[in-house]
Amino acid sequence: MHWEPNAASPQIAGAATMSNRMSVTPQPNPLARREVLVGATIAVGALFFGATESRAALDEAVSHSAESIHQEITFKATKKRIYDALTNAKQFEQVVHLSDAMKMRMPANAPPTRISTEPGGTFSTFGGLIVGMQIELAPNERIVQAWRPAYWKPGSYSIVRFALADSDSGTRLTLDHRGFPDGDGQSLLDGWNKNYWEPLTKYLAQP
């Protein structure tokens, strides 16, 4: 799903505060352009795309840097409520209906949200525009996913990590997204804001 670049607002008025960072950072022992490996009971994926310098032939396959996205958003809700909204298919479907993707990009007959609650299970959201596998699920604490827009090259996954922590005003959600193709960072950042945090804030504000 091509989320078009747009300057992200640093704050969602009245509901959540947000800080964004998109950076190019060194990755220890990166793997360049390899498929996610799926075990019998748990899926573990690693894709670290990055720009490689013009060096000797043996060095050209090694990625020395990669774009990454880091966001910290504080919601006026409990960790459990946010975790449930991200992992319960019926709840996340309501978030989807409040998203920019629903208004602008999803067809009227798009399939409903499917989210496995077991490590190694799959998910399909935004009418199949975002798909992937659950790598780790620590209830009310952490979600790690092998995550991809459907338009990416088959077998290409990025790694998304949601971490939840108590804060004075509610819950701080920290997103770390890495392993996506270089050049996609700004579009993905815009997508996180418009299709996850803004609609999630509206959903959590409902009684």
The 10 Å Cβ neighbour count of residue 148 is: 24
How high is the pLDDT of residue 87? 98
Point out which residues pair with 20 in neighbouring strands.
71
- Say yes or no to pLDDT of 23 above 90: no
How high is the pLDDT of residue 205? 95
Cβ-Cβ contacts under 8 Å for 108 (sequence gap 6 or more): none
Residue 112 Cα distances to 99, 118, 160, 174, 184, angstroms: 14, 19, 21, 26, 26
Question: Is 54 exposed, middle or buried (CB count within 10 Å of its CB: 0-12, 13-18, 19+)?
Answer: exposed
Helix (H) or strand (E) holding 82: helix 79-87
How high is the pLDDT of residue 13? 37
Closest CA to 196 of 75, 46, 57, 39: 75
Our CA angle for 202, 187, 103, nearest 5°, is: 40
Cβ-Cβ contacts under 8 Å for 41 (sequence gap 6 or more): 119, 120
Please provide the average confidence, as pLDDT, over all residues in the chain: 79
The 10 Å Cβ neighbour count of residue 146 is: 24
Percent of the chain with pLDDT over 70: 69
What is the C-alpha to C-alpha distance for residues 179 and 177, in angstroms, rounded to an integer? 7
At the topology level, CATH places domain 35-186+195-204 in: Alpha-D-Glucose-1,6-Bisphosphate; Chain A, domain 4 (3.30.530)
What is the C-alpha to C-alpha distance for residues 189 and 16, in angstroms, rounded to an integer? 17
How high is the pLDDT of residue 7? 37
What band does 95 get if pLDDT is binned at 50, 70 and 90? very high
Structure tokens at 20: 């964004």
Instruction: Write down the residue that tokens 């990625």 correspond to.
Output: 63
CB 15 within 8 A of CB 76: yes
Q: Where are the domains of the chain?
A: 35-186+195-204
How high is the pLDDT of residue 181? 93
Report pLDDT digits (tens) over 143-160: 999 999 999 999 999 999
